[in-house]
Amino acid sequence: MKCPICGNEHTGKLSKSRYFCSNCFVEIFLSKKNKLELLKISEDGSTYPIYAN
Protein backbone atom coordinates (compact mmCIF):
# COMPACT_ATOMS: atom_id res chain seq x y z
CA MET A 1 0.00 0.00 0.00
CA LYS A 2 1.48 3.28 -1.10
CA CYS A 3 0.73 6.22 1.15
CA PRO A 4 -1.58 8.52 -0.83
CA ILE A 5 -0.26 11.56 1.00
CA CYS A 6 3.52 11.37 0.88
CA GLY A 7 3.99 8.53 -1.59
CA ASN A 8 5.87 6.35 0.89
CA GLU A 9 5.78 2.81 -0.46
CA HIS A 10 6.96 1.22 2.78
CA THR A 11 3.83 1.55 4.86
CA GLY A 12 3.38 -0.93 7.68
CA LYS A 13 0.56 -3.42 7.48
CA LEU A 14 -1.58 -3.47 10.62
CA SER A 15 -4.20 -5.90 9.38
CA LYS A 16 -5.80 -7.06 6.16
CA SER A 17 -7.26 -3.67 5.36
CA ARG A 18 -5.33 -1.32 7.62
CA TYR A 19 -1.95 0.23 6.93
CA PHE A 20 0.16 2.78 8.71
CA CYS A 21 2.52 5.36 7.24
CA SER A 22 5.25 6.17 9.76
CA ASN A 23 6.34 9.05 7.56
CA CYS A 24 3.25 11.18 8.05
CA PHE A 25 1.61 9.24 10.91
CA VAL A 26 -1.50 8.33 9.02
CA GLU A 27 -3.54 5.18 9.23
CA ILE A 28 -4.87 4.04 5.90
CA PHE A 29 -8.06 2.02 5.82
CA LEU A 30 -9.35 0.18 2.84
CA SER A 31 -13.10 0.05 3.17
CA LYS A 32 -15.32 -2.71 1.84
CA LYS A 33 -16.00 -0.68 -1.27
CA ASN A 34 -12.25 -0.33 -1.81
CA LYS A 35 -12.46 3.29 -0.83
CA LEU A 36 -9.47 4.77 0.95
CA GLU A 37 -10.08 6.32 4.33
CA LEU A 38 -7.31 8.15 6.12
CA LEU A 39 -6.92 8.79 9.81
CA LYS A 40 -4.32 11.27 10.96
CA ILE A 41 -2.69 10.57 14.30
CA SER A 42 -1.54 13.75 15.99
CA GLU A 43 1.32 14.03 18.45
CA ASP A 44 -0.95 13.91 21.49
CA GLY A 45 -2.46 10.63 20.31
CA SER A 46 -5.77 11.97 19.14
CA THR A 47 -6.97 11.07 15.69
CA TYR A 48 -9.02 12.84 13.11
CA PRO A 49 -10.16 11.82 9.66
CA ILE A 50 -8.69 13.31 6.54
CA TYR A 51 -9.94 12.68 3.08
CA ALA A 52 -8.03 11.78 -0.02
CA ASN A 53 -9.30 12.49 -3.49
* Window 22 to 51, contacts with Zn ion (CB under 5 A): 23-24
Residue 8 interacting with Zn ion (CB under 5 A): yes
Nearest distance from C-beta of residue 48 to Zn ion, angstroms:
16
> What region, left, alpha or beta, does residue 8 occupy, with left being phi > 0 and alpha being psi -120 to 50 degrees?
beta
Handedness of CA 32, 9, 20, 25 (dihedral sign): negative
* Residue placing its CB nearer to Zn ion in the complex, 12 or 34: 12
Nearest distance from C-beta of residue 24 to Zn ion, angstroms:
4
Residue 3 interacting with Zn ion (CB under 5 A): yes
